[in-house]
Amino acid sequence: MTILAAVAVPHPPLIFPEVGQGKEKTIQKTIDAYRQVMRFVAEFKPDTIILTTPHAELYGDYFHVSGGKGADGNFARFGAPQVKIHADYDAEFVKALEKSCREQKLPCGTLGERDPALDHGSIIPLRFLNEVWQKYKVVRIGLSGLSLLKHYQLGQIICEVSQKLGRRTVFVASGDLSHKLSADGPYGFAAEGPVFDEKITAALDSGDFAALFAMKPDFCEAAGECGHRSFLIMVGALDGKAVKSKLLAYEGPFGVGYGVAKFEIGKDDKTRKFGEQYAAQLHEQAQKRHQSEDNLVQWARRCVETFVQTGKPLDFATNRPTELLDKRAGVFVTLKKNGELRGCIGTIEPVRENIASEIWHNAISACSQDPRFTPVLPDELDEIVYSVDVLTPIKPVTPDVVLNPKVHGVVVQNGNRRGLLLPDIEGVNTLTQQLQIARQKAGIAPFEPVQLFYFQVERHH
């Protein structure tokens, strides 16, 4: 068997009278739709429920799957300990999923569990399901900080495992929508909130799942959502299948969006391979960017791509750009993904024989050794945007020097501690901000004296 059906559901704790104390009546449409969608699930008599939830264990570089025989959970944190539930886990499915993910180099498994108890994102849908069907086991999966394509890939692998094991499987994607729909809500208002809910409910209703990939991380973060990646795993499990979608309810009276949708699965449909389409789109965009790169940026990108794809550095002796061999300078190589920093390593002063070598070393370090980030993965390369900053020699700040954070970078030094901040950093608009961040990077307290230096950069995009 394969995935027989799928549903997307919210998880507001006040949906239960024990917590809502009457407020649950305000979202009666959601409650009615919840019961309708779980009757839909029960019609398939599933052996296994795949349950993705934003409130299980969450890691930046790993999908956590709950292990063991099962787990219990209750609503004590919401003042209703009498609301409780037990779930039996499909241990055979979990084991097979771990194996398949390992073979396909997707970081996913049962490691790192800190709290085995069922979260409210699991308790709520399971309690509604138990009203109409109890003969099932659960595979409970958390989200991650990995790429959208990795979430989609996990869904594809889940479908493959279900087929191999012959399970009657239904996918339940638990997730609220925006938490920033109104100023008087618990999380306030953001303009992106209503827009997010409009876009995602339209996608869930129409089955146009490509729209989920169009929602960039900064937009989702500004909207304060929690269900986007949960839904993406579900969509991956429906890869290449015709889907009849229906949004059964949408409400947001408390400043948080609640959507309930169901998905009937049909025959194979090659036009609905949304992951492949998104990957092709990213590759096309990357190729266009590469055409406008200058020699320094192109060299940095080639160094990164070779190392990430092969695990070995690009052969410097035969590939080095000759025009970068006659000068020396400090160089910073910066990698960004979706507008966010993905890695940055540099040298304040030259430590290599020329700029080409400086870029070669720093580019490889930026993609693999920046302690703030996990190493860049091959499937991220089309999303990486590169910049190279070539530094002028640093000079001590004298009374006649007027520093401009858009033009000048700064170096603060106290003994062996030294912190640097490049110029023209987004969100850094004053010298005070610049110096504070440079001190923090060096571990120098605000009251400690520092020597102050400055430099300028030749920035290559």
Select from 97, 107, 10, 99 the least CA-distant residue to 48: 97
In the chain, residues under CATH classification 3.30.1490.150 are 392-461
3-class secondary structure, 391: strand
Architecture of the domain defined by 293-376: 2-Layer Sandwich (3.30)
- DSSP E strands in 77-175: the ranges are 80-88, 108-109, 137-141, 169-174
In the chain, residues under CATH classification 3.40.830.10 are 3-277
Q: Phi, psi at residue 234, to the nearest 5°?
A: -60, -45
Q: List the structure tokens of 441.
A: 């990077």
pLDDT reported for residue 106: 95
3-class secondary structure, 47: coil
3-class secondary structure, 4: strand
3-class secondary structure, 384: strand
212: Cβ contacts below 8 Å, ≥ 6 apart: 148, 200, 203, 228, 231, 232, 235, 274
CB 173 within 8 A of CB 212: no
CB 362 within 8 A of CB 348: no
User: What does the DSSP assignment read for 210-247?
Assistant: HHHHTS-HHHHHHHT-SSHHHHHHHHHHTTTEEEEEEE
Tens of pLDDT, residue by residue over 365-393, are 999 999 999 899 998 999 999 999 999 99
Please determine, for residue 271, whether its predicted confidence score (pLDDT) is greater than 70: yes
| Alpha carbon of residue 31 to chain centroid | 30
CB 112 within 8 A of CB 142: no
Q: List the structure tokens of 249.
A: 């309810």
- Eight-state DSSP code of residue 393: P
118: Cβ contacts below 8 Å, ≥ 6 apart: 71, 72, 73, 85, 87, 126, 140
Rounded distance between C-alpha atoms, residue 50 and residue 142, angstroms:
11
Domain 392-461 belongs in CATH node 3.30.1490.150: yes
pLDDT reported for residue 1: 67
In terms of Cβ atoms closer than 10 Å to its own Cβ (0-12, 13-18, 19+), residue 169 is buried
pLDDT reported for residue 394: 92
In the chain, residues under CATH classification 3.30.700.20 are 293-376
Q: List the structure tokens of 106.
A: 């997707």
- Eight-state DSSP code of residue 108: E
pLDDT reported for residue 407: 93
* Residue carrying structure tokens 């507001």: 12
Tens of pLDDT, residue by residue over 78-106, are 999 999 999 999 999 999 999 999 999 99
Q: Classify domain 3-277 at the CATH topology level.
A: Protocatechuate 4,5-dioxygenase; Chain B (3.40.830)
Tens of pLDDT, residue by residue over 235-248, are 999 999 999 999 99
Q: List the structure tokens of 45.
A: 């008599």
Tens of pLDDT, residue by residue over 164-202, are 999 999 999 999 999 999 999 889 999 999 999 999 999
Residue 190 has a CB neighbour count (10 Å cut-off) of 18
Beta bridge partners of 384: 337
Question: Side chain identity at 263, as an amino acid letter?
Answer: F
Q: List the structure tokens of 390.
A: 């070539």
Residue range 103-111: mean pLDDT, rounded = 96
Q: Within 13 Å, how many C-alpha atoms sit on residue 216's CB side? A: 9
* Residue carrying structure tokens 């787990």: 71
